[in-house]
């Protein structure tokens, strides 16, 4: 676990090497080993100094989240962090020099252990990152990070790491004083050793030296007060208080950095336990860490199908989506044949990659030869014959059934026998599109999101005839792109568009009820959604909502139940205010200025005399999405809660602190949620009607996720 060796000079090397794991983590076993190793360094008179390092590529990846979440007992959690604090304090106050040699990344608990050393030397490793990303999972650094980092760098410089979870490269960490030196890769242990040997007097941390002052000023200094106040206001404004961790981190700094470090650590421990037990952290860890991790490892992949590696793929249609898909495939090292109706259109699609790599090259994120190689992998053409060696072809032409059928036939005429045809349609059922295919078992939906290079989700849609092997190979493709897949069964709107639209339409329904537009938008943001429903409607355009409404009506006839929001979208189209692309919708979009709510809305939708409480609106906007998600589960569109929650967070920005729509229901409890739906259905109609699945779950006391 931690191998301790003592050499002839009396230097102990504590080498982390957890068996059976690719990374070292802090858990019950490794903490016990760490405490024993520290006790030995401190107590053994033969030991003159120590080096801590790792036999793995990275130092320590951080705390083991399974371990962290395996108890709900505050006293147990408090004892765990306090024991770690005690051990690290013992190490840093023993007087013997302790150097930490970092071959790779030290993140979270890993960096916190390293901060207890007196000297940190990092290898010159471009992959290594240093930071305290706990906040991104609703936690705070509980291993002393909120206390040692600001005491080391000053409060101002520590805040971006603590509050945003910023990860630094070795050079940046050196500049901030988080590490003391960078050594050539492979020489970091020797450098650490040289430093230990050079120490002739007892070593102390700066904060244990009498008269120590926090660099840049203590908490009480006016400049720091100002920074803390601004940070406080900003974290609150940005998150509407939905995320307690940034506030708790600020409290740790505020209350802890002015007092002695032992008191500061006790403050941190208390807030840390609060955060671990918070529902927000539990939701974020479940969805952003465990569920997303499972999705990325292709938990939904049919087993026993050999993996497929992709070297060449085709893209039909070089428009907004096709150009983006071509870029991400080329970025992943694949050769790409990018086809459009004419050469200028195909070239324009490739031009998109040009722009992206130029930007990255200018920022130094991509070497010129890599940029060149990426572009050379993309062939822009009109010639379908070039698809002859493509293992996968993604269709992204206009949203038109007949056109999609035509290009499908053309492509399949030249594609190799085992190749897959994937449609990026956003609204047309996959099984219907597959009717144009001569091999419907090799036809699948791969629904990318815009902009493709920044949206990590791909909704994989299984058609009626899609084979298990095709599903497995499509998932291999998504993984090769470095993106996150969710798997759904074919249905109108699939999963993401269907549930996302309920949020937008509920916002429009509120407008029709006479709720003030600004209040609706604020409610969306307070609910934790990234954009208010009216602004979002403008983004997708009321025209598209009306188009889908008409198509659904035509397909379903009497069975179709439009939502009240549809009428509002139709009215906006009649008024010519179709959305952002027209420069006018619910908002005005003045040239060069920022958008403003259209004053004419007051005339179209007069305000009701009594305005609802914002909390009621938040409840409606979230509940409407959660209920529709349950219907997707009930109808078998979704196959598991994991894909529901991951898809919602990554696909349309469902608030991570809620963990996704199904986590939201678990947080409330099925019984409570049923009551909520019944109340909303009574006042607002059948779109809130309780799905049978939820009733059963409430009666049986079930949840979507088993307790961890
Ligand atoms: P777009 O209009 O930007 O691009 C479509 C491209 O297809 C154009 O470049 C057009 O010249 C080309 N094309 C038309 N006929 C062709 C033919 N016979 N052969 C080859 N190329 C042909 O459209 P966009 O936005 O890229 O959408 C493409 C598909 O992706 C649609 O099915 C759309 O529903 C879907 N989608 C769109 C999203 C979006 O946010 N725009 C998101 C997810 C899916």
pLDDT at 707: 77
Is the C-beta atom of 407 inside 6 A of ligand 1? Answer: yes
Domain boundary among 470, 491, 512: 491
Distance 350 CA to ligand 1 centre (A): 14
Q: Which residue has the higher pLDDT, 240 or 343?
A: 343
Q: What is the distance between the alpha carbons of residues 511 and 536, in angstroms, rounded to a whole number?
A: 14
247 and 332 both lie in a single domain: no
541 and 424 both lie in a single domain: no
195 and 269 both lie in a single domain: yes
Is the C-beta atom of 319 inside 6 A of ligand 1? Answer: yes
Structural contact between residues 641 and 292, judged by C-beta atoms closer than 8 angstroms: no
pLDDT at 436: 97
349 and 474 both lie in a single domain: yes
pLDDT exceeds cutoff 80 at 281: yes
Is the C-beta atom of 317 inside 6 A of ligand 1? Answer: yes
pLDDT at 571: 97
Distance 445 CA to ligand 1 centre (A): 14
**Is residue 304 assigned to a domain?**
no
Known active-site residue 118: no
Which residues have C-beta within 8 Å of that of residue 233, sequence separation ≥ 6? none
Coil vs helix vs strand at 231: helix
Pick the atom of ligand 1 nearest to 382's CA.
Answer: 20
Pick the atom of ligand 1 nearest to 425's CA.
Answer: 32
Distance 404 CA to ligand 1 centre (A): 10
Is the C-beta atom of 396 inside 6 A of ligand 1? Answer: yes
Domain count for the chain, please give it.
3
Rounded to whole angstroms, what are the CA distances from 369 to 357, 358, 362, 366?
A: 11, 12, 13, 8
483 and 578 both lie in a single domain: no
| For the chain, percent of residues with pLDDT exceeding 70 | 100
Render pLDDT for 89-108 as a digit per residue (tens, 0 to 9): 999 999 999 999 999 999 99
Pick the atom of ligand 1 nearest to 427's CA.
Answer: 34
198 and 247 both lie in a single domain: yes
**Is residue 138 assigned to a domain?**
yes
**Is residue 708 assigned to a domain?**
no
- The model's confidence at residue 241, banded by pLDDT at 50, 70 and 90, is confident
Given 118, 447, 473, 566, the catalytic residue: 447
pLDDT at 219: 82
Coil vs helix vs strand at 453: coil
pLDDT at 606: 96
Pick the atom of ligand 1 nearest to 321's CA.
Answer: 26
Structural contact between residues 534 and 587, judged by C-beta atoms closer than 8 angstroms: yes
Q: What is the distance between the alpha carbons of residues 143 and 148, in angstroms, rounded to a whole number?
A: 9
468 and 506 both lie in a single domain: no
Stretch 660-673: mean pLDDT: 97
330 and 189 both lie in a single domain: no
Q: What is the distance between the alpha carbons of residues 210 and 198, in angstroms, rounded to a whole number?
A: 23
pLDDT exceeds cutoff 80 at 708: no
pLDDT at 683: 95
pLDDT exceeds cutoff 90 at 38: yes
CATH number at residue 25: 3.90.226.10
Q: Which mutation among 337, 386, 397, 409 tests ligand 1's pocket best, with the greatest number of atoms within 8 A of CB?
A: 397
Stretch 585-611: mean pLDDT: 95
- The model's confidence at residue 155, banded by pLDDT at 50, 70 and 90, is very high
**Is residue 538 assigned to a domain?**
yes
Cite the beta strand spans of 241-391 per DSSP E.
Answer: 312-316, 335-339, 378-381
Render pLDDT for 324-348 as a digit per residue (tens, 0 to 9): 999 999 999 999 999 999 999 999 9
Stretch 545-569: mean pLDDT: 92
**Is residue 256 assigned to a domain?**
yes
pLDDT exceeds cutoff 90 at 240: no
CATH number at residue 368: 3.40.50.720
**Is residue 615 assigned to a domain?**
yes
Coil vs helix vs strand at 514: coil
Stretch 638-662: mean pLDDT: 97
Distance 451 CA to ligand 1 centre (A): 13
Coil vs helix vs strand at 585: coil
Domain boundary among 439, 474, 491: 491
324 and 456 both lie in a single domain: yes
pLDDT at 218: 83
Q: Whose CA is nearest to atom 29 of ligand 1?
A: 396
pLDDT exceeds cutoff 90 at 427: no
| For the chain, percent of residues with pLDDT exceeding 90 | 91
Mean pLDDT of the chain: 95
Which residues have C-beta within 8 Å of that of residue 566, sequence separation ≥ 6? 505, 508, 545, 546, 549
Distance 323 CA to ligand 1 centre (A): 9
Q: What is the distance between the alpha carbons of residues 152 and 155, in angstroms, rounded to a whole number?
A: 9
Render pLDDT for 434-483 as a digit per residue (tens, 0 to 9): 999 999 999 999 999 999 999 999 999 999 999 999 999 999 999 999 99
Domain boundary among 451, 476, 491: 491
**Is residue 255 assigned to a domain?**
yes
577 and 672 both lie in a single domain: yes
Q: Whose CA is nearest to atom 36 of ligand 1?
A: 426
Q: What is the distance between the alpha carbons of residues 337 and 325, in angstroms, rounded to a whole number?
A: 11
pLDDT at 576: 96
Give the neighbor-by-neighbor strand order of the sheet with 181-183: 2-6, 11-16, 49-54, 98-102, 119-123, 181-183
pLDDT at 228: 87
**Is residue 306 assigned to a domain?**
no
- The model's confidence at residue 706, banded by pLDDT at 50, 70 and 90, is confident
CATH number at residue 674: 1.10.1040.50
pLDDT exceeds cutoff 90 at 321: yes
432 and 455 both lie in a single domain: yes
512 and 559 both lie in a single domain: yes
pLDDT at 234: 82
Cite the beta strand spans of 490-601 per DSSP E.
Answer: 587-588, 596-597
pLDDT exceeds cutoff 80 at 238: no
Render pLDDT for 252-278 as a digit per residue (tens, 0 to 9): 999 999 899 999 999 999 999 999 999
User: Which pair of structure tokens corresponds to residue 430?
Assistant: 């996959």
Could you list the residue range(s) of the whole structural domain that residue 475 is in?
A: 312-491
């Amino acid at each position: 676990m931690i191998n301790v060796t003592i050499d002839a000079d009396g230097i102990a090397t504590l080498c982390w090497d957890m068996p059976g794991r690719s990374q070292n983590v802090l858990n019950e076993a490794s903490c016990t080993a760490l405490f024993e190793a520290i006790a030995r360094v401190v107590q053994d008179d033969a030991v003159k100094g120590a080096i801590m390092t790792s036999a793995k590529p990275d130092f320590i990846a951080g705390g083991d989240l399974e371990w962290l979440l395996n108890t709900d007992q505050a006293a147990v959690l408090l004892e765990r962090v306090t024991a770690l604090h005690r051990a690290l304090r013992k190490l840093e106050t023993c007087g013997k020099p302790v150097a930490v040699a970092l071959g790779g990344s030290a993140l979270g608990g890993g960096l916190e252990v390293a901060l207890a050393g007196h000297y940190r030397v990092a290898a010159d490793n471009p992959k290594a990152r240093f930071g305290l990303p706990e906040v991104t999972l609703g936690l705070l650094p509980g291993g002393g990070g909120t206390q040692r980092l600001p005491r080391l760098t000053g409060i101002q410089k520590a805040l971006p790491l603590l509050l945003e979870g910023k990860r630094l490269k070795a050079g940046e960490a050196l500049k901030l004083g988080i590490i003391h030196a960078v050594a050539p890769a492979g020489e970091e242990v020797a450098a650490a050793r040289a430093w230990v040997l050079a120490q002739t007097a007892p070593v102390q941390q700066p904060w244990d030296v009498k008269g120590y002052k926090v660099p840049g000023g203590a908490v009480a200094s006016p400049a720091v007060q100002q920074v803390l106040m601004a940070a406080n206001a900003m974290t609150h404004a940005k998150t509407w208080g939905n995320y307690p961790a940034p506030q708790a981190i600020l409290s740790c700094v505020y209350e802890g950095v002015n007092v002695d470090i032992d008191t500061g650590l006790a403050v941190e421990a208390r807030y840390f336990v609060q955060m671990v037990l918070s529902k927000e952290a539990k939701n974020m860890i479940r969805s952003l860490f465990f569920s997303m991790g499972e999705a990325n490892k292709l938990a939904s992949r049919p087993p026993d199908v050999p993996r497929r590696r992709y070297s060449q793929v085709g893209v039909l249609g070089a428009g907004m989506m096709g150009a983006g898909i071509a870029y991400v495939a080329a970025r992943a090292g694949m050769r790409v044949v990018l086809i459009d109706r004419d050469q200028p259109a195909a070239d324009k699609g490739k031009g998109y990659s040009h722009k992206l790599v130029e930007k990255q090259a200018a920022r130094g994120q991509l070497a010129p030869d890599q940029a060149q190689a990426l572009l050379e992998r993309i062939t822009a053409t009109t010639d379908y014959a070039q698809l002859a060696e493509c293992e996968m072809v993604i269709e992204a032409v206009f949203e038109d059934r007949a056109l999609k059928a035509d290009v499908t036939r053309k492509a399949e005429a030249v594609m190799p026998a085992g190749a897959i045809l994937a449609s990026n349609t956003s609204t047309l059922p996959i099984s219907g599109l597959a009717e144009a295919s001569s091999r419907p078992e090799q036809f699948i939906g791969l629904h990318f999101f815009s902009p493709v290079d920044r949206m990590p989700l791909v909704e994989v849609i299984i058609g009626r005839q899609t084979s298990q092997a095709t599903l497995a190979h499509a998932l291999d493709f998504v993984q090769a792109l470095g993106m996150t897949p969710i798997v759904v069964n074919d249905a109108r709107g699939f999963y993401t568009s269907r549930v996302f639209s309920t949020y937008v339409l509920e916002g429009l329904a509120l407008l029709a009820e006479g709720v003030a537009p600004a209040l609706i938008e604020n409610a969306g943001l307070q609910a934790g959604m990234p954009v208010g429903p009216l602004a979002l409607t403008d983004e997708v355009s009321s025209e598209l909502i009306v188009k889908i409404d008409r198509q659904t009506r035509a397909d379903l006839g009497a069975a179709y139940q439009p939502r009240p929001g549809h009428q509002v979208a139709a009215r906006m189209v009649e008024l010519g205010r179709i959305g952002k692309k027209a420069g006018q919708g619910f908002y005005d979009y003045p040239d060069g200025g920022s958008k403003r709510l259209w004053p004419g809305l007051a005339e179209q939708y007069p305000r009701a005399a009594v305005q609802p409480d914002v909390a009621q609106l938040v409840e409606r906007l979230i509940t409407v999405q959660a209920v529709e998600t349950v219907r997707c589960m009930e109808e078998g569109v979704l196959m598991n809660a994991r894909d529901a929650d991951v898809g919602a967070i990554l696909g349309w920005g469902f608030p991570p602190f809620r963990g996704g729509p199904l986590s939201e229901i678990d947080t409330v409890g099925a019984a409570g949620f049923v009551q909520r739906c019944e109340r909303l259905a009574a006042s607002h109609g059948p779109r809130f009607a309780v799905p049978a699945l939820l009733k059963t779950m409430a009666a049986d006391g079930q949840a979507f996720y088993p307790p961890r």
